[in-house]
Structure 1
Amino acid sequence: MDNFKHLNSQYINGEWREGQSSVKMENRNPYNGDIIAAYQAASLDDLNEAYEASARVQKEWAKTNPVAQRAVFEKAVAYIEANHEAFVATIIEEIGGTRLKAEFEIGLVTNIIKEASTFPFRMNGQILPSPIDGKENRVYRVPVGVVGVISPFNFPFFLSMKSVATALASGNGVVLKPHEHTAITGGTMIAKLFEEAGLPKGLLNVIVTEISEIGDNFVEHKIPRAVSFTGSTKVGKHIGMVAGKNLKEAHLELGGNSALVVLEDADMELAVSAAVFSRFTHQGQICMSANRLLVHEDVYDEFVEKYIAKVSTLTCGDPKDPSTIIGPLINEQQVKTTVALIEKGIEEGATPLIKGKVEGNIVEPVVFGDVTPDMTLANEELFAPVVSIMKVTSDEEVLAYANNSDYGLSGAIHTRDVERGAELAKQMDTGMIHINDGTINDEPTVAFGGVKNSGLGRLNGEWSLDAFTTTKWISIQHDRRQYPYS
């Protein structure tokens, strides 16, 4: 199998079939514009059937022996390993990811599935004491039921799997709606993977559709008790509002405007490498990417010189070429948005130290100097290979600049004094921050999530287990209880 582009169907109740909507969807290669696949979009009836199928099968799945549940996830990992090149080819063709990006994403997917495979054995309960004589309190961890998952276009295989695998492993059913531009990598490829792994039919459903076809029904539907969304802050706020109105849990991983700090005592070679990786991996289309580089004035000139030299070596072009570092943005609209931000930055007085060309969906690196905290470049999420370098004079200014953002997802601090870095990190308004590393980090057992406009909740490890389960109190009165009347 060369890749999975034949998976241009809905996956509902364990069957591959056309959607019932009259809307036809096309999936295009972001580098050359070729049509990869065409879909008949899912309708509201398809969505309803998907949720009903998942709810119907979930009860039995939750009672399945944990050894049998774990075996499904072990088979899923084995399937990825056996079809590794097919997964790589699909990521390159559908997302425009480079081979480096594809390998990185597949590694993340494998690790989160391995972590999820431990969940069936971690559905632990407790026996708690009671102030009532003769009473035994049992607290059970149980699945929430059915989880709705909505995934984005940038790391769709992983960011779908992060919620899908852990929700399934916690005993839930799942309905997954991938982004329309990455319907295979973020959706039907995952359905095929779990189908081959032996997951009960109907437990996982994938619908490919436009929001215009289903509106808010994916969240409002009576069956799902939790919704996991990864995507833009604007859409995430709306989903959070709809979920709250319907008393559903919402787990939201949203945008970012991460700051990477370079202090005067930093290991300069390491800081430059980390800063380049943190901005230009997958064309900057990562919520954790370093949008802002805050560099101490004592090393500003040295850093800029070495940073520009390294960025100038990055190859741009066809993601199928193994030497390519920067491939295409996902679509023309993203390119237009990026170009507008670049032009805005120049208008506001930022200096383009490097200003690459724009050809098709390829945006070559753009590096801005003389950026100030009030500029648009310093405040907007830049989902592209565009970065701002800002000069800072003190730790107090580092904190002022870093915290001058509506976002708070990731960050990094480079210093040889790790305790100084840790103290600064404690004062930075962000959900995650890394000392002497890049801003792009995601590990299967460590809490992942942001603050402010970067989202709500945490996933990975025990945090995913908490997200997709609830607790049930069952008390047993062993001794006859005396009531005050009756």
Structure 2
Amino acid sequence: MEKRPLLVLDDADIEQAAAGAVFGAFANAGQICMSTERIIVDNAVAEAFIPLLARRAAALPAALTGPVVDMNTIARCNALIDDALAKGARLLTGGKANDTHMSPTLLDGVTREMRLWREESFGPVKAIIRVHSEEEALAVANDSEYGLSAAVYSRDSARAWNVAQRLHNGICHINGPTVHDEAQMPFGGCKASGYGRFGGRAGIAEFTELRWITIQTQPRELPF
């Protein structure tokens, strides 16, 4: 199950990162193949970033996020919330629902023991994972068998570029949300997310058989 990461490094613009995280996580109630599932934040900025993120998420009107597709989604999301809370996570905003209108939900302190670490909600239930370094952020982000979309927030574009190169994802957006697509760009993932691409030349290439044809314009000497 996809667990698209958004990394907030210790030098990130936290306002920009919070805006990108909220949009990427809760647009269409989190039911987009690129939706942010894990918000990985460096402890150096966590105390400033997380309350800001929670306020933004709590302020989203239902008309913007919309409902989930069915009650099966609600059952899955409710179970993920129950499991995380039972194992020590903290509910910052949102929570369980009884119908298909589920509020944006953030759980802080998510750990590997919790289902939410690995299982995709494909709904508005998101994990916040605190880390102590860039290396740990990368290790956590790459701790998934899937790899479609990712995002990295940092004021240092060269640093963010280096981090992006080490992420095991087919797509990575620097200082932008995980939800982003352009018709001319090669869209696709890696690992269990698949290896094909669509969009622009890459899409044409998927339906093209590469061939090699030669023509000898004059006689040449052969080995024998």
| Structures share fold, TM-score greater than 0.5 | yes
Aligned to 2:197: 458
Aligned to 1:295: 41
Aligned to 1:398: 137
The structure carrying a bigger strand percent of its residues is 1
Aligned to 1:313: 59
Of 351-360 and 398-407, deviating more is 351-360
Q: How far did residue 357 of structure 1 move?
A: 4.8
Measure, in 2, the Cα distance between the counterparts of 1:388 and 1:447: 28
Q: TM-score, normalised by structure 2?
A: 0.91
Contact 1:289 1:440 in 2 (8 A): yes
Which runs of 5 or more structure 1 residues have no equivalent in the other structure?
1-254, 317-323, 482-486
Contact 2:154 2:160 in 1 (8 A): yes
Q: Which SS does the other structure have where 1:456 is aligned? A: coil
CA RMSD after TM alignment: 2.2
Alignment of 1:327-366 (within 5 A): 327-366=66-105
Measure, in 1, the Cα distance between the counterparts of 2:40 and 2:160: 14
Structure 1 residues 478 and 426 mapped into 2: Cα distance closer, same or farther (>3 Å)?
A: closer
Contact 1:392 1:398 in 2 (8 A): yes
Structure 1 residues 470 and 396 mapped into 2: Cα distance closer, same or farther (>3 Å)?
A: same
Alignment of 1:66-145 (within 5 A): none
Q: How far did residue 472 of structure 1 move?
A: 4.9
Aligned to 1:373: 112
Q: How far did residue 479 of structure 1 move?
A: 7.2
What letter is aligned with 2:209? Answer: T
Measure, in 1, the Cα distance between the counterparts of 2:211 and 2:165: 35
Measure, in 2, the Cα distance between the counterparts of 1:474 and 1:411: 40
Does residue 258 of the first structure (1) align with residue 1 of the second (2)? no
How many pairs does the alignment contain? 223
Contact 1:266 1:416 in 2 (8 A): yes
Contact 1:408 1:454 in 2 (8 A): yes
Structure 1 residues 475 and 267 mapped into 2: Cα distance closer, same or farther (>3 Å)?
A: closer
Which runs of 5 or more structure 2 residues have no equivalent in the other structure?
none
Q: TM-score, normalised by structure 1?
A: 0.43
Q: How far did residue 476 of structure 1 move?
A: 6.1
What letter is aligned with 1:268? Answer: I
Structure 1 residues 393 and 361 mapped into 2: Cα distance closer, same or farther (>3 Å)?
A: same
Q: How far did residue 449 of structure 1 move?
A: 0.8
Q: Which SS does the other structure have where 1:325 is aligned? A: helix
Measure, in 1, the Cα distance between the counterparts of 2:88 and 2:95: 18
Same amino acid, percent of matched pairs? 39
Aligned to 2:146: 407
The CA deviation string for residues 361-415 of structure 1, in whole angstroms up to 9 with x for no partner, is 1111211011123421111112000111111111111111111111111111111
Aligned to 2:181: 442
Match for 2:122 among 365, 371, 383?
A: 383
Measure, in 1, the Cα distance between the counterparts of 2:10 and 2:211: 53
Q: How far did residue 475 of structure 1 move?
A: 5.9
Please say which structure displays the higher CA radius of gyration.
1
